[in-house]
Amino acid sequence: MAIFDNHFHLRPTGLGVAAAKQFEAAGGTALMLTHSPYDDLPVRRAEDYAAGYARTLDFARQVRTATRLKVFVALGPYPVDLLPLRESIGITAATDVLRSGVDLAGRHVAEGDAVAIGEVGRPHFPVDAEAWRASNEVLAHAMAVARDRGCPVILHTEDPTPETFREFAAIADRCGLPHNRVVKHHSTPLTRPEENHGIVPSLLAKADLVRVAVGGGPFFLETDYIDDPKRPGAVLGPATVPRKTTAWIAEGLLTAEAVARIHADLPRATYGIETD
Ligand SMILES: [Zn+2]
Protein backbone atom coordinates (compact mmCIF):
# COMPACT_ATOMS: atom_id res chain seq x y z
CA MET A 1 0.00 0.00 0.00
CA ALA A 2 1.38 3.42 -0.96
CA ILE A 3 1.63 5.91 1.93
CA PHE A 4 2.82 9.41 1.01
CA ASP A 5 3.60 12.33 3.33
CA ASN A 6 3.29 15.49 1.20
CA HIS A 7 5.30 17.85 3.46
CA PHE A 8 8.32 16.73 5.47
CA HIS A 9 11.47 18.59 6.53
CA LEU A 10 14.83 17.32 7.77
CA ARG A 11 17.55 19.33 9.44
CA PRO A 12 21.07 18.62 10.72
CA THR A 13 20.14 19.48 14.31
CA GLY A 14 17.17 17.08 14.33
CA LEU A 15 16.67 13.35 13.88
CA GLY A 16 17.59 13.55 10.19
CA VAL A 17 17.55 10.17 8.46
CA ALA A 18 16.24 8.52 11.67
CA ALA A 19 12.97 10.46 11.25
CA ALA A 20 12.55 9.01 7.75
CA LYS A 21 13.25 5.54 9.18
CA GLN A 22 10.42 6.05 11.71
CA PHE A 23 8.12 6.96 8.82
CA GLU A 24 9.15 3.84 6.92
CA ALA A 25 8.82 1.55 9.97
CA ALA A 26 5.22 2.74 10.42
CA GLY A 27 4.37 1.81 6.81
CA GLY A 28 5.31 4.96 4.87
CA THR A 29 6.53 4.51 1.29
CA ALA A 30 7.19 8.01 -0.09
CA LEU A 31 7.98 11.54 1.10
CA MET A 32 7.94 15.06 -0.31
CA LEU A 33 11.11 16.36 1.27
CA THR A 34 10.52 20.10 1.25
CA HIS A 35 13.22 22.73 1.51
CA SER A 36 13.06 25.25 4.36
CA PRO A 37 15.77 27.55 5.68
CA TYR A 38 18.66 26.22 7.80
CA ASP A 39 19.75 28.40 10.74
CA ASP A 40 23.44 27.98 9.92
CA LEU A 41 22.96 28.86 6.21
CA PRO A 42 21.25 32.26 6.28
CA VAL A 43 20.12 33.76 2.97
CA ARG A 44 21.94 37.07 2.52
CA ARG A 45 22.28 37.06 -1.28
CA ALA A 46 20.95 35.05 -4.23
CA GLU A 47 23.95 32.70 -4.26
CA ASP A 48 23.10 31.48 -0.75
CA TYR A 49 20.16 29.43 -2.05
CA ALA A 50 22.62 27.08 -3.76
CA ALA A 51 24.08 25.89 -0.44
CA GLY A 52 20.68 25.46 1.20
CA TYR A 53 19.22 23.52 -1.72
CA ALA A 54 22.36 21.37 -1.88
CA ARG A 55 21.79 20.36 1.73
CA THR A 56 18.14 19.42 1.11
CA LEU A 57 19.17 17.38 -1.95
CA ASP A 58 21.89 15.70 0.12
CA PHE A 59 19.30 14.74 2.77
CA ALA A 60 17.22 13.17 0.01
CA ARG A 61 20.21 11.09 -1.13
CA GLN A 62 20.96 10.03 2.45
CA VAL A 63 17.39 8.86 3.01
CA ARG A 64 17.36 6.95 -0.29
CA THR A 65 20.58 5.20 0.73
CA ALA A 66 19.40 4.35 4.25
CA THR A 67 15.80 3.28 3.46
CA ARG A 68 13.66 1.89 0.65
CA LEU A 69 11.56 5.08 0.60
CA LYS A 70 10.84 7.02 -2.57
CA VAL A 71 12.08 10.53 -1.76
CA PHE A 72 10.88 13.45 -3.89
CA VAL A 73 12.13 17.00 -3.39
CA ALA A 74 10.52 20.44 -3.48
CA LEU A 75 12.86 23.45 -3.58
CA GLY A 76 12.04 27.13 -3.25
CA PRO A 77 12.70 30.33 -1.30
CA TYR A 78 10.82 30.23 2.02
CA PRO A 79 8.43 33.23 2.04
CA VAL A 80 9.60 34.55 5.42
CA ASP A 81 13.16 34.88 4.02
CA LEU A 82 11.94 38.18 2.55
CA LEU A 83 11.62 39.98 5.88
CA PRO A 84 15.21 39.88 7.27
CA LEU A 85 16.50 40.44 3.73
CA ARG A 86 14.41 43.61 3.40
CA GLU A 87 15.94 44.89 6.65
CA SER A 88 19.45 44.44 5.30
CA ILE A 89 19.22 45.26 1.55
CA GLY A 90 15.80 46.87 0.93
CA ILE A 91 12.61 45.56 -0.60
CA THR A 92 13.63 45.63 -4.27
CA ALA A 93 16.90 43.74 -3.82
CA ALA A 94 15.24 41.35 -1.34
CA THR A 95 12.52 40.51 -3.86
CA ASP A 96 15.19 39.86 -6.49
CA VAL A 97 16.99 37.45 -4.16
CA LEU A 98 13.82 35.39 -3.70
CA ARG A 99 13.12 35.49 -7.44
CA SER A 100 16.63 34.09 -7.99
CA GLY A 101 15.80 31.36 -5.48
CA VAL A 102 12.79 30.46 -7.62
CA ASP A 103 14.91 30.42 -10.78
CA LEU A 104 17.48 28.10 -9.21
CA ALA A 105 14.70 25.78 -8.01
CA GLY A 106 13.37 25.70 -11.58
CA ARG A 107 16.79 24.65 -12.87
CA HIS A 108 16.89 21.78 -10.35
CA VAL A 109 13.46 20.69 -11.60
CA ALA A 110 14.74 20.74 -15.18
CA GLU A 111 17.72 18.61 -14.11
CA GLY A 112 15.43 16.10 -12.40
CA ASP A 113 16.64 16.75 -8.82
CA ALA A 114 13.32 18.22 -7.71
CA VAL A 115 9.70 17.65 -8.75
CA ALA A 116 8.11 20.88 -7.48
CA ILE A 117 8.83 24.50 -6.58
CA GLY A 118 8.03 25.05 -2.91
CA GLU A 119 7.36 26.02 -0.35
CA VAL A 120 6.75 29.48 -1.80
CA GLY A 121 4.10 32.13 -1.26
CA ARG A 122 3.75 34.64 1.55
CA PRO A 123 4.26 34.76 5.32
CA HIS A 124 1.59 32.88 7.31
CA PHE A 125 1.23 35.88 9.66
CA PRO A 126 0.09 39.44 8.85
CA VAL A 127 2.70 41.64 7.17
CA ASP A 128 2.67 45.22 5.88
CA ALA A 129 1.45 46.09 2.40
CA GLU A 130 4.94 46.35 0.90
CA ALA A 131 5.94 42.83 2.05
CA TRP A 132 2.55 41.49 0.91
CA ARG A 133 2.96 42.95 -2.58
CA ALA A 134 6.52 41.69 -2.91
CA SER A 135 5.50 38.22 -1.71
CA ASN A 136 2.72 38.06 -4.28
CA GLU A 137 5.21 39.09 -6.96
CA VAL A 138 7.52 36.20 -5.97
CA LEU A 139 4.52 33.87 -5.85
CA ALA A 140 3.49 34.82 -9.40
CA HIS A 141 7.08 34.38 -10.56
CA ALA A 142 7.13 30.89 -9.02
CA MET A 143 3.93 30.00 -10.89
CA ALA A 144 5.39 31.29 -14.17
CA VAL A 145 8.59 29.27 -13.70
CA ALA A 146 6.51 26.20 -12.77
CA ARG A 147 4.54 26.62 -15.99
CA ASP A 148 7.79 26.84 -17.99
CA ARG A 149 9.30 23.81 -16.23
CA GLY A 150 6.07 21.79 -16.34
CA CYS A 151 5.95 21.23 -12.58
CA PRO A 152 3.67 22.17 -9.64
CA VAL A 153 4.13 24.84 -6.98
CA ILE A 154 3.61 24.13 -3.26
CA LEU A 155 2.21 27.16 -1.47
CA HIS A 156 3.04 28.35 2.05
CA THR A 157 0.60 31.12 2.99
CA GLU A 158 -1.96 32.12 5.59
CA ASP A 159 -4.75 29.55 6.15
CA PRO A 160 -6.94 29.70 3.04
CA THR A 161 -10.61 30.65 2.76
CA PRO A 162 -12.64 30.18 -0.45
CA GLU A 163 -11.71 33.81 -1.22
CA THR A 164 -7.98 33.01 -0.86
CA PHE A 165 -8.34 30.03 -3.18
CA ARG A 166 -10.08 32.27 -5.70
CA GLU A 167 -7.14 34.69 -5.51
CA PHE A 168 -4.57 31.90 -6.02
CA ALA A 169 -6.58 30.56 -8.95
CA ALA A 170 -6.61 34.02 -10.55
CA ILE A 171 -2.83 34.38 -10.17
CA ALA A 172 -2.36 30.88 -11.66
CA ASP A 173 -4.60 31.85 -14.60
CA ARG A 174 -2.52 34.97 -15.24
CA CYS A 175 0.65 32.81 -15.18
CA GLY A 176 -0.79 30.04 -17.37
CA LEU A 177 -0.40 27.40 -14.64
CA PRO A 178 -3.26 24.86 -14.37
CA HIS A 179 -5.04 24.93 -10.99
CA ASN A 180 -4.29 21.23 -10.38
CA ARG A 181 -0.58 22.13 -10.42
CA VAL A 182 -1.01 24.37 -7.37
CA VAL A 183 -0.80 22.61 -3.99
CA LYS A 184 -1.81 24.45 -0.84
CA HIS A 185 0.34 23.15 2.01
CA HIS A 186 -1.14 23.40 5.55
CA SER A 187 -4.58 23.91 4.04
CA THR A 188 -7.98 24.26 5.58
CA PRO A 189 -10.20 21.25 4.68
CA LEU A 190 -11.87 22.98 1.71
CA THR A 191 -11.90 20.07 -0.75
CA ARG A 192 -14.94 20.87 -2.86
CA PRO A 193 -14.05 22.42 -6.24
CA GLU A 194 -16.47 25.31 -5.71
CA GLU A 195 -14.44 26.18 -2.59
CA ASN A 196 -10.89 25.62 -3.84
CA HIS A 197 -11.25 26.18 -7.63
CA GLY A 198 -9.35 22.96 -8.33
CA ILE A 199 -6.29 23.97 -6.31
CA VAL A 200 -5.12 20.93 -4.38
CA PRO A 201 -5.34 21.11 -0.57
CA SER A 202 -2.77 19.31 1.57
CA LEU A 203 -4.06 18.67 5.09
CA LEU A 204 -2.31 17.97 8.35
CA ALA A 205 -3.04 14.32 9.24
CA LYS A 206 -5.63 15.14 11.90
CA ALA A 207 -8.99 13.37 12.19
CA ASP A 208 -11.02 16.59 12.59
CA LEU A 209 -9.67 17.90 9.25
CA VAL A 210 -10.06 14.61 7.38
CA ARG A 211 -13.62 14.16 8.64
CA VAL A 212 -14.55 17.49 7.00
CA ALA A 213 -12.48 16.82 3.87
CA VAL A 214 -13.81 13.39 2.86
CA GLY A 215 -16.72 13.59 0.49
CA GLY A 216 -15.24 16.53 -1.42
CA GLY A 217 -12.49 16.49 -4.04
CA PRO A 218 -8.94 15.16 -3.74
CA PHE A 219 -6.51 16.13 -0.97
CA PHE A 220 -3.04 15.22 0.26
CA LEU A 221 -2.01 14.33 3.81
CA GLU A 222 1.08 15.79 5.45
CA THR A 223 2.78 16.15 8.82
CA ASP A 224 4.76 19.34 8.16
CA TYR A 225 7.36 17.53 10.28
CA ILE A 226 10.00 20.19 11.08
CA ASP A 227 12.69 17.98 12.69
CA ASP A 228 13.43 20.59 15.34
CA PRO A 229 14.27 19.18 18.79
CA LYS A 230 13.62 22.63 20.32
CA ARG A 231 9.96 22.46 19.23
CA PRO A 232 8.99 18.80 19.75
CA GLY A 233 5.26 19.47 20.08
CA ALA A 234 5.06 22.09 17.34
CA VAL A 235 4.05 19.68 14.58
CA LEU A 236 3.03 16.09 14.02
CA GLY A 237 5.68 13.39 14.44
CA PRO A 238 7.34 11.73 11.43
CA ALA A 239 5.28 8.49 11.60
CA THR A 240 1.89 10.23 11.82
CA VAL A 241 0.69 9.86 8.20
CA PRO A 242 1.14 6.05 8.01
CA ARG A 243 -0.15 5.51 11.58
CA LYS A 244 -3.25 7.66 11.10
CA THR A 245 -3.99 6.29 7.65
CA THR A 246 -3.93 2.73 9.01
CA ALA A 247 -6.12 3.71 11.98
CA TRP A 248 -8.62 5.58 9.81
CA ILE A 249 -9.08 2.55 7.55
CA ALA A 250 -9.78 0.41 10.63
CA GLU A 251 -12.23 3.01 11.99
CA GLY A 252 -13.99 3.40 8.64
CA LEU A 253 -13.10 7.08 8.25
CA LEU A 254 -11.23 6.26 5.01
CA THR A 255 -12.05 3.51 2.54
CA ALA A 256 -9.31 1.59 0.72
CA GLU A 257 -10.32 3.50 -2.44
CA ALA A 258 -9.93 6.86 -0.66
CA VAL A 259 -6.50 5.83 0.59
CA ALA A 260 -5.40 4.89 -2.94
CA ARG A 261 -6.66 8.26 -4.21
CA ILE A 262 -4.80 10.23 -1.53
CA HIS A 263 -1.52 8.32 -1.52
CA ALA A 264 -1.10 7.06 -5.11
CA ASP A 265 -3.49 8.64 -7.64
CA LEU A 266 -3.17 12.26 -6.53
CA PRO A 267 0.66 12.24 -6.27
CA ARG A 268 0.77 10.73 -9.79
CA ALA A 269 -1.67 13.30 -11.18
CA THR A 270 -0.08 16.28 -9.45
CA TYR A 271 3.66 15.57 -9.52
CA GLY A 272 3.93 12.70 -12.01
CA ILE A 273 5.44 10.45 -9.33
CA GLU A 274 4.97 6.83 -8.25
CA THR A 275 4.72 6.51 -4.48
CA ASP A 276 5.19 2.75 -4.02
ZN1 LIG B 1 7.06 23.48 5.62
Per-residue pLDDT tens over the stretch 93-133:
999 999 999 999 999 999 999 999 999 999 999 999 999 99
Phi, psi of 155 (to 5 degrees): -95, 135
How far does the centroid of ligand 1 lie from the alpha carbon of residue 174, in Å? 26
Average pLDDT, the chain: 97
CA separation for the pair 71, 61 (Å, rounded): 8
The arithmetic mean of pLDDT across residues 19-38, rounded, is 98
How far does the centroid of ligand 1 lie from the alpha carbon of residue 157, in Å? 10
How far does the centroid of ligand 1 lie from the alpha carbon of residue 20, in Å? 16
CA separation for the pair 121, 77 (Å, rounded): 9
CA separation for the pair 223, 81 (Å, rounded): 22
Does pLDDT of 235 surpass 80?
A: no
What contacts 111, CB < 8 A, 6 or more positions away?
none
The arithmetic mean of pLDDT across residues 22-49, rounded, is 97
Nearest 10 degrees: Cα torsion 96, 99, 105, 111: -90
Does pLDDT of 48 surpass 90?
A: yes
pLDDT digits 0-9 by tens, 172-182: 999 999 999 99
Per the CB < 8 A criterion, the answer to whether 274 and 268 are in contact is: yes
How far does the centroid of ligand 1 lie from the alpha carbon of residue 91, in Å? 24
How far does the centroid of ligand 1 lie from the alpha carbon of residue 212, in Å? 22
How far does the centroid of ligand 1 lie from the alpha carbon of residue 56, in Å? 13
Provide the pLDDT for residue 231: 82
How many other C-beta atoms can be found within 10 angstroms of the C-beta atom of residue 96? 17
The arithmetic mean of pLDDT across residues 6-10, rounded, is 98
258 pLDDT band, cuts 50/70/90, is: very high
Provide the pLDDT for residue 202: 98
Percentage of the chain exceeding pLDDT 90 = 97
How far does the centroid of ligand 1 lie from the alpha carbon of residue 263, in Å? 19
Provide the pLDDT for residue 233: 67
Strand 30-34: give its sheet, edge to edge: 4-8, 30-34, 70-75, 116-121, 153-156, 182-184, 200-204, 220-222
C-alpha distances in Å from residue 234, one per residue of 226, 227, 230: 8, 10, 9
How far does the centroid of ligand 1 lie from the alpha carbon of residue 53, in Å? 14
Reduced to 3 states (helix: H, G, I; strand: E, B; else coil), residue 4 is strand
Provide the pLDDT for residue 229: 84
Does pLDDT of 215 surpass 70?
A: yes
Provide the pLDDT for residue 152: 98
How far does the centroid of ligand 1 lie from the alpha carbon of residue 120, in Å? 10
The arithmetic mean of pLDDT across residues 60-73, rounded, is 98
CA separation for the pair 264, 71 (Å, rounded): 14
Does pLDDT of 236 surpass 80?
A: yes
What contacts 38, CB < 8 A, 6 or more positions away?
11, 12, 52, 55
Does pLDDT of 232 surpass 80?
A: no
The arithmetic mean of pLDDT across residues 31-38, rounded, is 97
Please provide the size of the chain in residues.
276
DSSP for 109-169 reads HHHTS-SEEEEEE--SS---HHHHHHHHHHHHHHHHHHHHHT--EEEE-SPP-HHHHHHHH
How far does the centroid of ligand 1 lie from the alpha carbon of residue 156, in Å? 7
Does pLDDT of 9 surpass 80?
A: yes
How far does the centroid of ligand 1 lie from the alpha carbon of residue 78, in Å? 9
How far does the centroid of ligand 1 lie from the alpha carbon of residue 16, in Å? 15
Does pLDDT of 265 surpass 70?
A: yes
How far does the centroid of ligand 1 lie from the alpha carbon of residue 32, in Å? 10
How far does the centroid of ligand 1 lie from the alpha carbon of residue 224, in Å? 5
